[in-house]
Amino acid sequence: VSEAAVLRDILAVLGTRPGVQVGIGDDTAVLAADPPLLVAHDMLVEDVHFRWTTHAWADVGHAALAVNLSDIAAMGGEPIAAVVGLASPMGALRSAQVREFYGAMEDLAKLSGCSIIGGDISRARETVVGVTVIGRMPAGLAPVLRSGARPGQLVCVTGRLGRSAAGRLVLNDPPARARPHDAELVAAHKRPEPRLAAGVTLARAGASAMMDISDGLCLDAERMALASGVCITIDLERVPIGAGVSAVAIDAGIDAAEFASTGGEDYELLVTVDPDLVPRVGLDLVSVGTVSAGEPGLVTLRHGRPVQLTRLGWDHVG
Amino acid sequence: VSEAAVLRDILAVLGTRPGVQVGIGDDTAVLAADPPLLVAHDMLVEDVHFRWTTHAWADVGHAALAVNLSDIAAMGGEPIAAVVGLASPMGALRSAQVREFYGAMEDLAKLSGCSIIGGDISRARETVVGVTVIGRMPAGLAPVLRSGARPGQLVCVTGRLGRSAAGRLVLNDPPARARPHDAELVAAHKRPEPRLAAGVTLARAGASAMMDISDGLCLDAERMALASGVCITIDLERVPIGAGVSAVAIDAGIDAAEFASTGGEDYELLVTVDPDLVPRVGLDLVSVGTVSAGEPGLVTLRHGRPVQLTRLGWDHVG
């Protein structure tokens, strides 16, 4: 079973009624309002998205909110409020852990200008955290969808990739001797930072398509190419790689550029823009590829020459 | 660990920022907007809220949306949209089950005038369903909170209680010979019907406090009394009991009125109103008690004479 297969079954039975501007399939849904309302819902599941052997309650709380804020960022929006569902073995849950979990969320909510306004708690055999964030577009801006990429545009990313994936490797298979950047890579993995300010800047500057990189640059680029009905070529040599990522990839026997382009959980923004926008947008935006016409959804990878990867990114269903 | 104790820890660390009209503690949160926005989030957890030995995927899908719509009803609001998180052992999940689950939600969404606009799916060891519903107040109406009950008012309920709890007993411990109402009690348990129309009618008619009966009339009345800073007296003899509930309770050796008042998952509305409202509201509203001044949160139960129950309702944490 793949995520895409389940999604097809879901879409086959759901209808939408008036008031829904964007339904399933983008980083957030969009409800018609003035300004438009954005709704994101992402879960973190024990042993799928995190492990108690390596993650603290504060890490899980932070990440559960951050990945949803990242979806709001990917539309160019601003978060308003979040609700939190926590299913967990409650018999083992101490007061300090509850405060640590919600406290880390509160810190990030405060920093992001939103409030945690409700939710639900239940006992369960394993921990599942579900967060819904409601946001809105800044006045006068339309949400930036995945479907707006146009031939002739550049494919760009914010920030440097592979840090979270490298941090995951360090956590799960600690090296005999710690490398200089290991600690910050682990922090990047445990505490992703949603690119809210960059998202608004890019929406305002006229980005044509945008999404966050959650499952790996290559897989997410494929989703954008499908939604936009275009081809995307990614030049792996141009992918900006985070400090310390190459050392971790090399020690694991993996090509660093491939590792950074498929590792996932970067929570940087993947965006398409007209070529003249890059120098004037005032962000550290790196062009990693191009949009062209052709078979919708085709992603071509180049690493000097055309390459094929066996895995483009992460699937949290299969 | 009790639900109330975890809630205290959560409230201790959370702050709210402008734009939040009602935070944690009512049936939904309320965001300041014109009209005000309502946000509800409730989870269903395998072996806590349902069992695969007795529930089909369609039952779980229906119920997960229904309990959230019931929260919208309890504010007097109208649902707009829902997002759905599904964590489940995906390897065992067949296409037909996915369609059954989302199809049942779609049926209820359509009936309720809202759309399922997004969500998340992940593999997990057990099934956890989290649903967030966003609603709004009808033009000109303010949300009806739990905190508005005033001394001298009547405590009323919509519908007849105990049907879901009786259905749960029938499901978990089937009788040797089926009684006449058993099948409809099981249906009431598996497929709760949110009282959306009644909620709007009561808000429009001037109900002072409202909530849905999810954990048992007595426990929910205690929550209302605490939120409103009043005493509530419930007269168990006046509690309207669903058809067939007494037979199930008697066979289980439980007093029928106590059973109907503590069984939970009724998803009827508990409401306080001025005495003159009951005959003119145009609903089958039954007065079961009174509001008085005194020790905030004190609930007195009468069954002919004052009685004390060892358990007022359900706690999904402890």
Model pLDDT for residues A235-244, shown as the tens digit of each residue = 999 999 999 9
Question: Residues near A241 by Cβ (< 8 Å), separated by ≥ 6?
Answer: A160, A161, A162, A256, A257, A260
A284/A104 Cα distance (integer angstroms)? 28
Question: Residues near B154 by Cβ (< 8 Å), separated by ≥ 6?
Answer: B272, B273, B274, B275, B278, B287, B289, B290, B291
| Angle CA A216–A221–A225, to nearest 5 | 155
Helix (H), strand (E) at residue B258: helix B256-262
CB pairs under 8 A between A and B: 228
Q: What is the pLDDT of residues A263-284, one digit of tens each?
A: 999 999 999 999 999 999 989 8
CB atoms within 10 A of CB B113: 13
B76/B146 Cα distance (integer angstroms)? 12
Residue B135, chain A, CB below 8 Å: the answer is no
> Which chain A residues are Cβ-neighbours of B91 within 8 angstroms?
1
Concatenate the DSSP letters of all residues of A103-120 into one string: HHHHHHHHHHT-EEEEEE
B220 has pLDDT over 80: yes
The pLDDT of A205-229, averaged and rounded, is: 97
Look at residue A169 in the predicted model and tell me its pLDDT.
95
Residue A4, chain B, CB below 8 Å: the answer is no
Mean pLDDT of chain A: 95
B82/B193 Cα distance (integer angstroms)? 16
B99/B95 Cα distance (integer angstroms)? 6
B143/A131 Cα distance (integer angstroms)? 24
pTM above 0.80, yes or no: yes
A317 has pLDDT over 70: no
Residue A113, chain B, CB below 8 Å: the answer is yes
Look at residue A33 in the predicted model and tell me its pLDDT.
93
Whether the complex's predicted ipTM surpasses the cut of 0.85: yes
Q: Smallest CA–CA separation between B155 and chain A, in Å?
A: 26
Compare all CA atoms of chain A with the CA of B25 and give the residue at the minimum distance: A118
Question: 3-class DSSP state for residue A56?
Answer: coil
B154 has pLDDT over 70: yes
* Whether the Cβ atoms of residue A23 and residue A17 lie closer than 8 Å to each other: no
A156 has pLDDT over 70: yes
B316 has pLDDT over 90: no
Mean pLDDT of chain B: 95
- The proportion of chain B whose per-residue pLDDT surpasses 70, expressed as a percent, equals 99
B113 has pLDDT over 70: yes
> Residue B28: which of A12, A118, A122 has the nearest Cβ?
A118
Question: 3-class DSSP state for residue A163?
Answer: helix
Q: Is B99 in Cβ contact with A13 (below 8 Å)?
A: yes
A271/A198 Cα distance (integer angstroms)? 11
Look at residue A17 in the predicted model and tell me its pLDDT.
83
CB atoms within 10 A of CB B285: 24
B318 has pLDDT over 70: no
Look at residue B263 in the predicted model and tell me its pLDDT.
93
Interface test with B, best of A24, A126, A128 (most B CBs within 10 A): A128
B291 has pLDDT over 90: yes
Q: Is A28 in Cβ contact with B106 (below 8 Å)?
A: no
Give the CA count within 13 Å in the CB-facing half-sphere of B159: 25
A29/B48 Cα distance (integer angstroms)? 30
A275/A287 Cα distance (integer angstroms)? 9
Look at residue A16 in the predicted model and tell me its pLDDT.
79
> Which chain B residues are Cβ-neighbours of A31 within 8 angstroms?
80-81, 117, 134
Question: 3-class DSSP state for residue B90?
Answer: helix
**How does residue A311 score in pLDDT terms, banded at 50, 70 and 90?**
confident
Q: Is B31 in Cβ contact with A99 (below 8 Å)?
A: no
Give the tokens for residue A199. 């998202």
B317 has pLDDT over 80: no
Among candidates B11, B22, B6, B19, which has minimal Cα distance to B211?
B22
* Whether the Cβ atoms of residue B271 and residue B143 lie closer than 8 Å to each other: no
Residue B24, chain A, CB below 8 Å: the answer is yes
Give the tokens for residue A169. 């490797």
> Which chain A residues are Cβ-neighbours of B78 within 8 angstroms?
none
Lowest-confidence pick of B15-24, B134-143, B219-228, B262-271: B15-24
Distances (CA, A) of A170 to A54, A177, B52, B213: 10, 11, 39, 49
* Whether the Cβ atoms of residue B315 and residue B2 lie closer than 8 Å to each other: yes
Residue A315, chain B, CB below 8 Å: the answer is no
Among candidates A248, A244, A246, A266, which has minimal Cα distance to A257?
A246
Look at residue A3 in the predicted model and tell me its pLDDT.
84
**How does residue A318 score in pLDDT terms, banded at 50, 70 and 90?**
low
A220/A212 Cα distance (integer angstroms)? 8
Q: Which phi and psi (to 5°) does residue B172 adopt?
A: -80, -20
Interface test with B, best of A3, A7, A45 (most B CBs within 10 A): A45
Q: Smallest CA–CA separation between B58 and chain A, in Å?
A: 12
A172 has pLDDT over 70: yes
B209/B227 Cα distance (integer angstroms)? 10
Torsion of CA A207, A213, A216, A218, to 10 degrees: -10
The pLDDT of B22-27, averaged and rounded, is: 94
